Structure 1
Amino acid sequence: MAISETQLETWGKQGPTAQFTATYETLRGVLNDPLSPYYLKSFEIFLQGSYKNTTNVYGDSDVDVVIRLDSIFYTDTYFLNDEEKRRYNSQRSAGTYTLDEFKAAVIAWLTKTYGNDVKPGKKAVFIKGNGTRRDADVLVCAKLRRYYTFPAYGDPLYVDGICFFLPEGTRIENFPEKHSANCTQKHQDTRQWFKHTVRIFKNLRNAMIEKKIVEDGLAPSYFIEGMLYNVPKERYGGSEQLNFKDVLNWLISADRDKFVCANEQFKLLGNGHVTWPAANCTRFLSAVKTYNDAA
């Protein structure tokens, strides 16, 4: 037995986007208002998450918006050698405007607009939906530059990302634009099967949560995308059932310790803030196999 061709095809379809688009455009207009106290600073507003990556399914609710301060940037010099680090430090200059000031100004502006619907959290600022406006998470962050080389002559090699700080001071780094670009390339390389398959796995996860087979939070969408990003492109395609079977069988038998996040800047599995506990990945795949076998 296996999940039917029709069910997989249905699960692979993208969820509705009209309300999401309207919410994002409204929120973007508020954040980009010339009357805001931070308007003269350099910043960018963009999407991240399932709506950005067109992997949203029915039931996805929050709109994930990033407002990134570009007037300053933080650096990750882990991959530089000692000489390169000294060279970088000799050339850096301190900023005059802080991320804390920017975040406070953004929260104040959002609160002025949305009042009690604004709830600052440990990571993002939650804005409760109202009427046709969807719930939204606004991540206030700064630009991050991860250096891989910093030569004496020529241009350094680096990847741009974002960073923000948890209340206790831990710095969280991520690379949402790199994640999105890599997922789009993977989608093209798999002849439009990658994002379709992500939506299948997300809908299957939601069905298992509803039936209390797995708990909510076991397999976040970000990690499902990352997991499927590691599947070789030749495993995708064919009929719905063949595609699902080949992808699932490869994931179960693969050496998952070698998996990377879709942004290719971190390992996928681990115990950090931006990694997925390996045991959770194993439990999720085991539940998927059992569900498919019993369908």
Structure 2
Amino acid sequence: MQGVPAPSRDTYASVKKTLEDKAAPYAAKDPDIFLQGSYSNDTNVSRDSDVDVVAMIATTFAHDAPSLATEQYQAFEKAYAGSASYSYAQYKKDVLAWLTSKYGTGVRPGKKAIYIPAGTNRRECDVLPAIQYRYYYRFTNILDQHYASGICFYLQDGTQIVNYPKQHSANCTTKHQDTNSWFKPTVRIYKNMRNYMIERKMFAEGVAPSYFIEGMLYNVPNDKFGTSYEDTFVATFNFLSSADRSSFKCANGIHMLLGTSPVTWRSEHCTAYLEALKSLWQKGMA
């Protein structure tokens, strides 16, 4: 099974140090730099080549406060009126300029993240500039408020994307512990089978992202994991095939797994992946 290799650790260390440099134009915003994705969750396989790094600032944040009760939202507006002066667009522009100055013209913005090419002792890396997102449960005043803290970024067309990578990672770790260390190896099995099928054109790249595979398996009862890899695959797959997957939550515990929003898995893609797995298992991986 795959673990976090040294080049990935070195890549993260290098990029983190660069992003946290006090000479950066956004340094006063005190960015929180952390890993997300397969390397963060220790579910990477050999085909996972790049390292995903989040650079989040909390001094600017987005929120769902309008969904609070009227009096709570009014209190929120009063407390934070005119507080945001540094926009997400400016922050992303500053991060891009800083990374380009440090890693060269190969650095380029993508649909979501900023790409850093591989270098000496460094893998390819994607840096996602993000602001904090607050999913509110209660707001009385600044000293009495309760919310789930996530990240928020915007696509080039203005589409807002909200996610909760720290909750996702923590919940996957808990699931791993609760399954006697079977969860993460099982995720790798499902990912390796996906990669095998993509290479043989059984379905297209992008149908079954790693994030959603982790989320899907997060919903499988703990007693379906264990004994052997073969038994675990059969038990987890049989559960997934017969379960009401419309009730599944993402591993972050907040979003639904299946849906039509930018942060959910299309139901037909999940079904296509499971059907391809069944076909592959029946034929044998030959």
- 2:68 corresponds to: 80
Give unmatched runs, 5+ long, in structure 2: none
Q: Distance in 2 between matches of 1:293 and 1:131?
A: 44
Q: What secondary structure sits across from 1:150 in the alignment?
A: strand
Q: Give the letter for the 1:264 counterpart.
A: G
Q: Is the 8 A contact 1:218 1:284 kept in 2?
A: yes
Aligned to 1:49: 37
Q: Deviations over 1:96-145 (max 9, x none)?
A: 22222221111111111122211101210011112431111100010111
SS in 2 for 1:40: helix
- Give % identity: 47
Q: Does residue 201 in structure 1 map to residue 190 in structure 2?
A: yes
Shifted more, 76-85 versus 57-66: the winner is 76-85
Aligned match of 1:281: 270
Determine helix, strand or coil for the equivalent of 1:117.
coil
Aligned counterpart in structure 2 of residue 157 of structure 1, from 146, 149, 166: 146
Q: Which amino acid in structure 1 is aligned with residue 77 of structure 2? A: N
Whole-angstrom distance in 2 between the partners of 1:131 and 1:294: 43
2:163 is aligned to 174
Q: For 1:179 and 1:62, how far apart are their aligned partners in 2?
A: 19
Aligned equivalent of 1:61, options 27, 42, 49: 49
Measured in 2, the distance between the counterparts of 1:226 and 1:281 equals 11
Scaled by the length of structure 2, the TM-score of the pair is 0.94
User: Normalized against structure 1, the TM-score is what?
Assistant: 0.92
Instruction: Tell me what 1:92 maps to.
Output: 80
State the Cα RMSD in Å.
1.6
Gap runs ≥5 in structure 1: 1-12
In the alignment, structure 1 residue 183 sits paired with structure 2 residue 172: yes
Change in 2 beyond 3 A, CA 1:279/1:151: same
Cα pair 2:79 2:142 within 8 Å, conserved: no
- For 1:151 and 1:95, the matched residues in 2 are separated by 20
Q: Aligned partners of 1:269 and 1:79: how far apart in 2?
A: 22
1:246 is matched with which residue? 235
Query: Partners in 2 of 1:77 and 1:263 — Cα distance?
Result: 20
Does structure 2 retain, via aligned residues, the 8 Å contact 1:67–1:141?
yes
Structure 1 position 258 matched with structure 2 position 247: yes
Q: 2:131 aligns with which of 139, 142, 145?
A: 142
Letter paired with 1:215: A
CA distance in 2, matches of 1:78, 1:229: 31
The number of residue pairs the alignment matches comes to: 283
Distance change (3 Å), C-alpha of 1:196 and 1:59: same
- RCO higher in 1 or 2 (8 Å CA, sep ≥ 6)? 1
